[in-house]
Amino acid sequence: MKYQDSKSKIDTPKKILKVNHAGEFGAINIYRSQIFFSKIFMKDLVPLLESFLEDEKRHLELFWDEIKRRNGIKCKSYYLCGLGGYAMGFISSLLGRKGIMACTWAVESVVVDHLKGQLLYLMQVNDTQAYETVKSILDDEINHREEGLQKGGTSNVFYQPLRCAISVFTEGVIRFGMR
Ligand SMILES: [Fe+2]
Ligand SMILES: [Fe+2]
């Protein structure tokens, strides 16, 4: 998606920050529900998922701090992201470790693409503070995506519909939040 100047009252940098903030809430819920199931069925995955969760909590705080500095508000898609996150974490957990990794890979791939588009836009409009905030989480999200890939996130062909559905949903909530 190409990020452009906003036509509404809320400027694009503010929108980017609130959409990302909502996305982090969604990610927190994905990893929380996956950790819940992994503790019962796939204990070896728990440390990795917990490290992802810690990253997402830190990201949430970073975006919220920057939103507050600009007197911004929570995104209209905040609770939709939260609910979607739980649902994706739940469904992917039912499909086992490859399902969990397919979810991670699919979500984080969409996220990384968007972050890169956001950075391009924020550089053009010279919003250094928002740029630095987005930039500071990019490496973590790339790492999440790569872990998902290495641990078999794309290896099961039967999970292609799951990956597709997750990509479409993630892309959809981001676009909805940016409107
Ligand atoms: Fe994150
Ligand atoms: Fe992430």
Domain ranges of the chain: 12-178
Banded model confidence at residue 82, pLDDT cuts 50, 70, 90? very high
pLDDT at 1 over 90: no
pLDDT at 22 over 90: yes
Distance 141 CA to ligand 2 centre (A): 4
pLDDT at 121 over 90: yes
Whole-angstrom Cα distance, residue 120 to residue 122? 6
Q: What are phi and psi of 8, to 5 degrees?
A: -95, -175
Distance 144 CA to ligand 2 centre (A): 6
Average pLDDT for residues 61-71, to the nearest whole number?
97
* Amino acid at position 139, single letter: D
In this prediction, residue 98 carries a pLDDT of: 96
pLDDT at 174 over 90: yes
In this prediction, residue 96 carries a pLDDT of: 95
pLDDT at 30 over 90: yes
Distance 104 CA to ligand 2 centre (A): 8
In this prediction, residue 102 carries a pLDDT of: 98
In this prediction, residue 84 carries a pLDDT of: 96
Average pLDDT for residues 87-93, to the nearest whole number?
97
Distance 74 CA to ligand 2 centre (A): 19
Distance 29 CA to ligand 2 centre (A): 11
CATH 2.30.110.10 is the classification of domain 12-178:
no
Of 127, 153, 169, the closest CA to residue 3 belongs to 127
CB 29 within 8 A of CB 85: yes
Which ligand is in closest contact with the Cα of 109? 2
pLDDT at 161 over 90: yes
Distance 54 CA to ligand 2 centre (A): 10
Distance 141 CA to ligand 1 centre (A): 6
In this prediction, residue 130 carries a pLDDT of: 98
Which ligand is in closest contact with the Cα of 63? 1
Of 70, 52, 64, the closest CA to residue 19 belongs to 64
In this prediction, residue 101 carries a pLDDT of: 98
pLDDT at 171 over 90: yes
Average pLDDT for residues 113-142, to the nearest whole number?
98
Q: 7: how many CB neighbours lie within 10 A of its CB?
A: 7
CB 19 within 8 A of CB 77: yes
